[in-house]
Every structure is written in C-alpha cells, then in structure tokens.
Structure 1
Amino acid sequence: MNTQLTILLLSGLAGTALAQTPTPDPNTLMNLGRFEEATQLLSRNAQQSPSAQTIFDAGYGYLRAGKPDSARIWFEKGIAMDEKRTPLNEMGDAITYLVKNDPANAEPKLAEVVKKSKGKNADILYRIGEAYTGYLTPGNGSIKPLYAKVVNAATAIDYLNRATERDKKNPAIQLALGDAYYLNKDAGTAVTRYESALELGMDPSRVYQRIGDIYWQGRNLNLAVENYKKAIEANASYAAAYNQLAELYFLVNRYKEAATYIDQYVNVSKDKRQETLLRQAQFHFLAKDYQRTVNLIDSNRTALAQNPIVYRIEGWAYSSLKEPQKAIQNISTFLEKAPEKVMPDDYKYLGLAYMGIENPGSDSLKAVNDSIGVTYLAKAAPFDTTENLYSDMAKYYYRAKKHPEAVAALDSAAKHNFKADVQDLFRYGMSNYTLGFQRDSLGKLVRDTVRFAQADSALALAQKASPDYAPTVLYRAKANYYAYTPEEAVRNGKAKPYFEQFIAMVSDKEDERNRYKKDLLLAFKYLISYNELVTKDDTARTEWLTKAKALFPDNQELAKIGAPVAGEQ
C-alpha cells in the first residue's frame, strides 16, 4: 500500500464526460470480469435460440468464468448440433479437459477435432490457440491467465499463426496472439499484435486497455496511463479503463484519483458486485474522504451486509470522523464476526476511538476509556510502520502521570525508527525529570543523575525545535540543578545559562511572573549564589538581588539576603 513510484500521471481524465449506455453485451461483460451476468445472458440466448453457435457461446462463457464443469454441460448438449467440418462444441468439450489439466483426455479429443476440421478451420485453430494462453484476464492492475497450469505459449503461437494463415483479417486472432507473445515474454511483439488487431477493426478501447495492461506489467506506468486514456477517448463508456486507472492510482498512493476513477467505473459499468462496492469504499477511505466512505456503505447496505469487512471499513471511517461510539460499535461487530481476519489496524482504530470519547464532567470515566484505548494501541503499535502510535500512548501516560510507561513508549518509538516531534521530546524530558527524584528504602530522596541527564538531552532537542517555549528552558535549568546537591549545582554552573534565559523570557510579563513565582525565586537565588561563591562578582550579585527584590518586594527570603560584607572575596 506504500509503494513509492515517481511518475508523470496524465491529467484531464477525471473530468471525462460519462455517457449513458445500454446494458453491455456478454463479450463486454466478460472483458469487465462480470462473468455471472455474461453467463446469464448467454445461457438465456442459448435456451431461447438453440444452435451450435449459441450453445457453444454459453459454454464458452462458463469456461471464461472459471467453471469448466458447467461449460462441459453446455458443450455436450451442443455436440449433436455441430456441423461436420466445424465441431465447435466437441472442441469446447476437449478444452474443458485441457483447462482442468487432464491431457490424457484433452489431447486425443483436440487431435480428433483438428482432424475433423482438416486443420483448415480458422475458428477452431483460434479457439484452441486461445485456450493454451490460459485466457489472459486483465483486471485490478494485473493480467494473468485464468488457467495457469494449461499455459503453453509456444503451442498457442503455433495454433494462432495457423489460424492467421486461414483468416488474416480476424482481429480476435491477433489479440490472442498478443496474449501468447506476452506469455512468451516478448512484450514488444505482443504490443505489435495488439496494434494489428486495432488496424483490423478490433474495438480500440479494448485494444488500448490491453496495451496499457502490458505496459503496466512492464512497470512503464506512463505508457500504461497513456493507453488507458486512449481507451477512454475512443469510448467514454469503456468501463474497464476507468477501473484500471483506479487501480494504477491506488498503486502509486494517489488515493483521491483512485477514488475518482472507481466512481466513474461504477457509474459507467453499473457494476454492483459486492467486491466492487467494497473496493470503492476502501479507496474513498484511503483518500481520507471518510464521510463518502460511510455514505457508500450505507447506500449499498443490502449488497454489502453479508461481508464483515464492511464493519471494519465503516468503523475505521467513523474513528477518523471523530464519532467514537459508532466506530467502537462497528469495529467490535467486525471482531465478533470475523476474528480470524483481525489485523493490527483494527486495534489501532478501536484504541483511537476509545481515547476519543469525551466524558464531560466525569474524569474517572474518561480515564477508564483512555486506559482501554491505550491497551488496544499497544497491540497495534509494533506493527504500524506509518503512524507513530507510541506517541499517542506516551501522551496518555504522561497526562495520567504514568511516567515510566511514557518513557517506555517513547523508547519503543525510537526503536521502531519514528522521529520524535517537539511534544514527544518535551514529554520524554519531563517524564525523565520526574523520575529523577527517587526514594531509597528508608524514604530518603535520591537523585537519579542519569534520568536528569536524559531529561536535559531531550529538552535540549525540544528547545532547538521550539526555542521560545519557556517551560522547556525552565526544566533544563531544574534538571541541571536537581541532579546535584544545591552547593554542587551552584559551583558547577550547569544550570546558570538556562536560569538566566528563563528570567529573561518571563520576568517582564506579569501573568508569567505570577505563574512561575517559585521558579523565578529559585532562579534568582541560584544566580545570586553563583556570583557569590564562584565568580565572587559583587556587582553581578547585587544586580540579581536588586532585580529580584524589585519583582518580589514582599518576599522574606530575599529580604534576608543582604549586601556582601566589605572586604569579602
């Protein structure tokens, strides 16, 4: 889902006018992959107008639908109606054994068919050659043989070339030859044969789509897009090209375009199959059009109701829409209906939904929901390579004052190569700062210098990213102060630049001054002591004391600090 390909994608297709079209014919339906509809039409036609050809067509439809046993039933019905030199249904019957990988039955039957037609019937030769391609089936960004085990490109080319000798102007033979050469790993000749089919009058939309598919498989996405565009220009109602474009844009993470084209595909083709509607909803979810996702599911509820994946997609969408109760309901239903299909993202969206529940006036209930949510996020986080769920977990732990868990979550984020943002860095620093104050077995305060050092390192990075945030500067000062005894902290001077910076940031702002009164007093006392004990600079000491008393004239501690005794160094 995260394949990164840089290509020039041609614009302008999204606005192509959509023509109103009648119900597609069976051949078009098969090309669209809508085999159930195609076989229904072909079967009805064979029943209403039975002939060797109509019965063969019905069997062929089932053959292309991947149902050779059903196809054989039709072919066996039609054998009696075959012309002597054109044993269509007898050939179809032989092909059913071929595609079922039963050469012992298939080969003598095919030999008999060729013998009866004296090897001169182009249609017979064409149909046998096409069968050896396994019936290439394009769709959803791939072009693969329906019956992979039967594929024999050399045999297919042989039969199709013999068919061409008998009927040089048959575009269907050229299209099949293109398929055979593609399977023979000769894409250049395949495209040439497709172009020959076009010159002989083959529906240009179908040919351009086929060429587009070949280029896609060769990873030449520019030419794939160009040919899909030509298919739509030739016939704005040619649905298959819209579908392929949707899948191509999906491949390159252009989800908005993918959603637009699958909408156009559904509008043109009237394809209401469950898998198509589900794909449409998925594309809109990936395009972050969450309301459209929900609307699509709701409007196709009957068609989609039996597929539990619907509850997953709708739940994820509601989670992203900040409707947590609906998200929880849908995802929980999915987990109940399809536990064997659960994936980490289910836990991610479920966790985010629980943490998104607002409980006004009930902090305890909010805490319960957040606790449930973070439990689900913990299940998903190790598997998510795109979203830093550890950050969400750390945010919860930090607010809940569970600092060891907050640190552990952010350590896990780093191990999974997630880059910490400024808030992650601040929380990591503050949690380590808090954990720096430990108690021994007797309850005596013990400074954890490693924790304070980790706090300062994280806060330094946070300060670099956001230099004007006063709390970051303050706690860098305090981390460097409390890591030592008061006298050690003053004498080593590590906290000095940060206390100075903190005073400069907040002392001239009355609201900030009131908010940080205790911290400002600590900062001033530190700087007074530093100039008294370390620099022995009476002038600087006096300046800091004077400024402190001016800001806090009623403070008794400052009042007790007098001027230095004359002659003291």
Structure 2
Amino acid sequence: MIKRSLKLALLPTAVFCMVFGTGLRAQSLDEARTSTKNEQYDKAEELFQQLIKNEPSNSTYYFYYGENKLLDYFADTISNSLNIAMRDAAEVFNKGIEANPADPLNYVGLARVAFYNTEEAKADELRVKARSLLPTYKKVTKIKEPKSYAFTLAKIAESYIRFEQVDTSKALPFIREAISIDPRNSEVYLIAGDIYILVNDGSKAIKNYNLAQDWDLQSPTANMKIGSIYVKGRNLMAAIPYYEQAIALDQNYAPAYRELGQLYSMAGRFNDSKKFFEKYLELTQGNIPAKIRYVNALFYAREYEEVIKNVEEIFAIDNSRTYMNRIAGYSAYEEGNFQLAKQYMDRLFANLDADRLIKKDFIYYARILARKNQNYYKMLIDADNDAGELSKLQARSATLKGAAREKALADIDTLKAKVESARAQIKEAESELADAFTAYDRAINFENKEDLNLLYEKGTVQYAAHMYADAASTWSQLLEKGRDSENDYLQVGRAFYQDKAYDKADEIFTKMAEKYPDNLQAYLWMANTAAAKDPDSELGIARPRFQALVRKAAVDSVKNVKEIYDALRFLGYEALQSKRYDEARAYYNRMMNLSPDYRIRAHSSLSTMYMTMGEYQKAVEENNKILAIEPGNEAAKSAIQYISQLQRSAQPKAHPNEITGVISDSSGEPIAGASVRVKDTAAEAWTNARGEYKFVMPEASEALIISAKGYRSIEIPVTKRRTYNATLEK
C-alpha cells in the first residue's frame, strides 16, 4: 500500500517533468529560431548545437540548423563562400537524415543546396523523395498534422528559388496545395509572398504577406517584407510605416532597425540612418557578426569610407577575420583608392584559404590593378620623351664649358634619375598588369563556367594599355565562341589595325562585311586598312574600296553623310596627288553638295587643288566663297593674302606666317585627317594621308590646337619657328 501510494504520489511529478521537458525543448527551439530571424546566426548556431547535443535523434533541429547556415550565407554574400556554405549546410541536413530518414524536411534542405549548386536533376530527385515521405490523402480533413504537412510543401516550393529567380510553374502548385491543406499557416503565406516578389508581382506578394500577418498577429516578419517591397520600388516613405509596425510588434526585432538604417541612408538622412544602425547593433549585442552585417549594409548604401573605418575597428578587436579584407578592398576600389584596395586584396589572397575565394575577388583584383595602372601608356611616352631629352642634353653638354657645362651636368643627373625612376615604375606597372590579366583569367573560368563578358572586359583593358596584339587575341576568342556581333568584329579588326597587323585586320573586316553586308563600318575599315597598307597609293588598293564605300553609303546619303565625306576626302586627295585634277574637282564638288557642314572644307580643298595647278585666281575665288559663308574665316583671308603676294612676286616666296608639319600617332605612324587649328580663330587645316599639313596663320596667333578622332587633343604655343610636328595619343 505504501509502495502504491508512493507511485501515485510520484506520478504527477513524472507527468509534470515530461510536459515541462517537452515545453523546454520547444522553448529552446523557438529561442534558436528567433535568433535566426533576428540575424544572430552565431548565437543561433550555439543554441542549435546544444539542442542537438541534448537530443541527437531530433531531425527537426538539424533542419533548422541547416537553414541557419544558409541564411547566414545569404546575409553576407560578400564575405562568405557559396561553396563552403552549401557544403556545411549539406553536412547538417545529411546528419538530420541519419537521425530520422523518414523526416522529409532535411531532404528538402538538400534539394535547396543541390539547386544552388546547379545540380537540377539531383534537386528534383530529392524533392520527389521528400514528397514521397508525406502520407497520401484523399481528403485534407483526414491529414493528421496539416500544419507540418503544409509547411513541408511550402519549403519544397521555396527550394525552387535561386539567386533572386524562381520557376513559378513548379513552385506555385506546392503553395496552392499547402494553402488548401492549412489555410491558416502564416509561414506558407510568407514563402508565397517571397515567390511573387521575385517575379515582380507586388500586389500578390503584399496580399500573401497580409494573410501571413493575419494568421500570426504577433509576428513582425510580414510587415518588414511589405516595407522591403516599397523600398525596392524606391517608395521609401511608404515603407517606413511597415517597418515601424514591425518594431511595434516586437521591439527587439533587429532586422527592422537594420532596414530602416538602410532606408534612411538611401534617402540621404544619415543621422537617422546612424541612429537605427546603432539600435541594430545594440539589439544584436554589438557582436562582431552583427557589425559585419552593418558593414555590408554600409557597402550596399555606398558608404565606402565608413565601410573601411568599421572594418579597421573589427580588425582591432579580432584580426582573425581575414575575409573582411574583401569588403574593405572592394570599398577602397569604389572610393578610387587603388593602392589601398590592392593592399587589402593582397592580404586577402595571402591569408584566406583558396576554397574560400569567390569569383568577385578575382574580378575586383583585376579591375583594381587595371585602374591603378591606367596611365601605363602615358608613362611609357613620358619616359621615352625624357630619355630623348636626356640624349640631347648629354650630346650638347660635350660642347659646353665652364658654368654652362656644370649646369648641364647637374640637369643630366636630375633627368637621369627621373628616367630611372620612370623605368622602375613602368616595370612595376607591367608586372601588375600581368597580374591583372591572370586575375581576369581566373574569374573568366571560375568553377569552369566561362564568362564571355569578362573576356570582353579583359580585352578592353589590354586595348586601353595599347597592348593591341593581346587585345586582338583576347577578343578573337569571342568570335571563336560564337559571340560575333557587328561590334565584336569591329573591335577585333581595330585591334589588329592598331597593331599594324593589316592583313589580319583586313581578314576580319572582310568577314564582317560578308556577315553584315549592310554595315558601312565594315567597308570603311576595309578601305582604311587598304590605305594603311598602301600609304603612297603605289598599289592603288585603297581607291576601289573607298569607291565601293561611296556606292554603298549612297543608299541613304543623309544617314551616311560622314562615311561618304571620309571616302570623298580620300578619293579627292588621291586624285590630286596623282594630278588627275578633273577627277579631284568632281569629288570635291560632290563633297560640297553633301551638307552645309562640309562646304567650307570642300572650298578649301578646291583652293588647294587650284594652288597646286598654279591657277591662283580660281584659288582666290574658292577662298572668297568661304568668306561669303563665314566672313571671319582667318584661314581663307590668309590664303588670299598669300596668293596675292605670290602673284606680285616673280619668285614666289613662302608666306612669313606659313606653317608646316607632320602629325603622327605615338608609334610614329602619320594621322590622316587630323585638324590643325589656330586657337580662338577659324583658321584650320587638315593633314593628308602622310600626316602633312601646310597653311598660313593669322597675325598674332598664340597657339595651335591639334586634334583627331580617337586621339587626345593637344595645344602647342606658337613661336618664331614655322614647323610644328606633333604626336597625338589615343
């Protein structure tokens, strides 16, 4: 009797312990999940690990623990590695399956991982497996646990989301079935809203988020998601009430404060932004992971200087977080501080495991080094010019004596040091550019997925550095891989052209004309290439190509006026040089009828032709026609004055203000069609195919402006000399 009484007495205690134990487990799981929702992923991880340690057979813990790892990655895709995050999450889900192979949720987790790893077949197989573990039913009212059943279906739908994209034809049927089973399930409506927002259906997203709120009145999540929709639509003021409502429901809901911090930063209200970010850090207990998410928010708000400042504060507390060099390096690049950006990225590459490096690391590193050395070609030109001056100074010093010689020697030492320093900088720049191209290659082929847009970008950097052969080789790969638009052909051909590989350039432009027979640029560059191959017109290969260009362009002379003008200018000059004056006259007259914009140039060309023929009066008439159009044209006035002097003199003498010269590019090749203009006047001349020009300057001219399409303009002061040669850079 005593024994029975004792058992009866202990029974309530045992029942209480069982109930309390179950409640404690639920409470602990809720606490862990709440930490995840509050973006306290490190704290959530500790709680999940403790739950699993206490109850290793509970597969539910593993599922939410795996989700915590995925959400931790998505909260910081800058610092975290996708491969490692997916690997770690998969490991947790697999342990969940070992704990309970009949639980479908961990199969759903693995399906999500497989889908992010672009293993679609495997993901589908795992979804089928998860669905097979759900009991079949004839009536939804007969389902024993409708809430968990509907939740699993919604999670299967969610597994079709990847990188802000979703296949609604596959995902939404699961959502509809889940709602039919449990129409009061808040989490199902949240996932439905997430799916609709990804396909830009804001109204349906908001409808589902509102339903989620209706069935879980105390949850702040739905309001925050609605606020995010308005932020996405740039309607910032409309978003604020929803974030405030989320906070009203749960004053410790950290994500809402972070979102408000980002919102006010976007609105330029930085004091308000700082206030909410500080509250966010306070709620997350100022832990380093929370501060890292704050840094990410600053980065997306383009507060790059603040990013760097906060990263250094993190390093002061915990310098083991090597990956933070990544966001600091990215930010320094965006700030234009390429040297600092390189330092951060060098530390990242030196200390971070190779499998934690991401594609963006190589992209940013390539761009950092490219921008840091964007003046590489100018450095080459300046160094060569200084070296030339040094040679001249050394030769002249040998003829000097006394104090003049001592000064010259001192100048030589200074210039020599400058040249040596420049050569060292050039060597460093060449090394860093080589590293940039290696980084581009790593990014282009990252994880064996070729990125043709980056291949194009690499060629652009090579072209800008005047590495024309390399650029042509890089861009040619695009053509080989089927990226063969008109622009792709043009850039490859131009690169070969700049490299003086004229046969290869001609081959590319010819293929372009065959593939795109209506594209005039193909015919223009075929003609330009022929002119470059035959600069003195000895072979006569350019003339028929320019004639073909004129015929092709004549289909729409208004639209194609520039191409026709370029062709007529060459044909007229070529005929003039060959003394086919009637033909030259015909081309220049045709040029005059193209457009009023070209009349002065046509009259000027005719004037030059008549001067060459010795028909001075006709040359004067052409210049008078120019003055009738533009009374202040100084070039025409000077030409008339010069012709008058020639006619008065038995022995023609050069006009005292006549200047001549040759305009060439940085490699010494002449630039045809370059403009040589007297500053602040209309006096102007254009170079011939040999880059030569000659004209009479107005009195009191102070400077020449020399320019050509595709080159940087330069200004040269006018002195007593009458020959002005110049080099233009791209």
Tell me the TM-score normalized by structure 1. 0.48
TM-score (norm 2): 0.40
Higher RCO (C-alpha 8 Å, min separation 6): 1
